[in-house]
C-alpha cells in the first residue's frame, strides 16, 4: 500500500541550505515529499547537501546564491521557477552573526549582517510572492531568533537584524494574506551549530538543528484555513 506523503509534489526553497539548520530543514521537507531547491553561497557543500536530500526520493536543485545580492536572488528564483513552475514553501534561513561591543562593530560588519539576515529575507520573499499570488497559495517561513525579542551584551548588530526580521514578518503576514499566502516566523534559542556562539554553554542542553526543522515540518502541514504566526523555540534546560 502506497501512502502519499504530506507535501508530495510541492516545491520548497530553502536558503542557507548547505549545512546546519538549513540542511536539517531541507531534509525534513524532502522526507515529507517536497521537491527542494537549495540555496547557499558555496557550490561544493551545496551539491553534497542536495545529494543527501535527494535520497528521500525527491528532486533537488542546488543553486549558488548570496542572498545579499538582489540580482543573484532574482536569477536563482527564476531558475527555480523555470525548473518547477511553482513554489509552495520558502524558508528564509540564511543568516550570520558578528558579535562584540557596539563601539567595536565596523561599518562593514554592520552592513554584512543586516544585508544577510534582514535584506536577504526581503529580497527572497519579494522574488517569490508574485508566483504564490498567481497560485493562490504559499507559505513563507522566516528563521529569526530569540535574539529578535531580547537584547544581550555584544549582540547589537545581530539583535538589530533579528528584531528587524520580526517586524518584517509581522507586516509581510498581512500584505499577501488575502491571496492564501501564510507567513510564519520561528525564533529559536541557541542551536548547536558552528555558527552559534557557545562559550560557557553545555552543548548537550542546546537546541539541535533537527528541532528547528521539526517546527518547519509542523508549520507546512497545517490545514489551509489557519496559520501559526510565531513559534518561540527553547531548550528544555537552560544551556
Torsion of CA 190, 227, 222, 233, to 10 degrees: 10
Show Cβ contacts of residue 227 under 8 Å, excluding neighbours closer than 6 positions. Answer: 139, 173, 182, 183, 184, 219
- Closest residue by Cα to residue 129 from 166, 168, 175: 175
User: Is 158 considered catalytic here?
Assistant: yes
User: What span, in angstroms and rounded, lies between the C-alpha atoms of 81 and 87?
Assistant: 7
Rounded Cα distance between 121 and 101, Å, is 25
> Strands across the sheet with 35-40, in order?
60-64, 35-40, 11-15, 89-92, 138-143, 181-188, 230-233
Which of 123, 158, 170, 179 is flagged as catalytic?
A: 158
Q: Is the dihedral of CA 56, 62, 68, 71 positive or negative?
A: negative
3-state secondary structure of 156: helix
Q: Provide the annotated active-site residues.
A: 158
Amino acid at each position: 500500500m502506497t501512502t502519499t506523503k504530506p507535501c508530495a509534489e510541492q516545491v520548497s526553497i530553502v536558503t542557507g541550505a548547505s549545512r546546519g539548520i538549513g540542511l536539517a530543514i531541507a531534509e525534513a521537507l524532502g522526507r515529507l515529499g517536497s521537491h527542494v531547491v537549495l540555496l547557499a553561497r558555496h557550490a561544493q557543500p551545496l551539491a553534497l547537501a542536495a545529494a543527501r536530500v535527494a535520497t528521500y526520493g525527491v528532486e533537488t536543485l542546488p543553486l549558488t546564491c548570496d542572498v545579499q545580492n538582489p540580482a543573484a536572488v532574482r536569477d536563482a528564483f527564476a531558475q527555480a521557477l523555470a525548473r518547477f513552475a511553482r513554489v509552495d514553501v520558502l524558508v528564509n534561513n540564511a543568516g550570520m552573526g558578528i558579535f562584540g561591543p557596539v563601539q567595536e562593530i565596523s561599518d562593514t560588519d554592520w552592513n554584512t549582517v543586516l544585508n544577510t539576515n534582514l535584506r536577504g529575507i526581503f529580497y527572497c520573499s519579494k522574488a517569490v510572492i508574485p508566483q504564490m499570488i498567481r497560485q493562490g497559495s504559499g507559505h513563507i517561513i522566516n528563521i529569526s531568533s530569540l535574539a529578535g525579542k531580547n537584547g544581550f551584551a555584544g549582540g547589537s548588530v545581530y539583535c538589530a537584524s533579528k528584531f528587524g526580521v520580526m517586524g518584517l514578518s509581522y507586516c509581510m503576514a498581512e500584505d499577501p494574506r488575502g491571496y492564501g499566502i501564510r507567513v510564519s516566523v520561528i525564533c529559536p534559542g541557541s542551536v548547536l551549530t558552528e555558527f552559534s556562539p557557545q562559550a560557557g554553554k553545555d552543548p548537550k542542553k542546546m537546541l539541535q538543528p533537527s528541532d528547528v526543522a521539526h517546527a518547519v515540518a509542523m508549520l507546512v502541514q497545517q490545514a489551509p484555513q489557519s496559520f501559526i504566526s510565531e513559534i518561540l523555540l527553547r531548550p528544555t534546560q537552560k544551556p
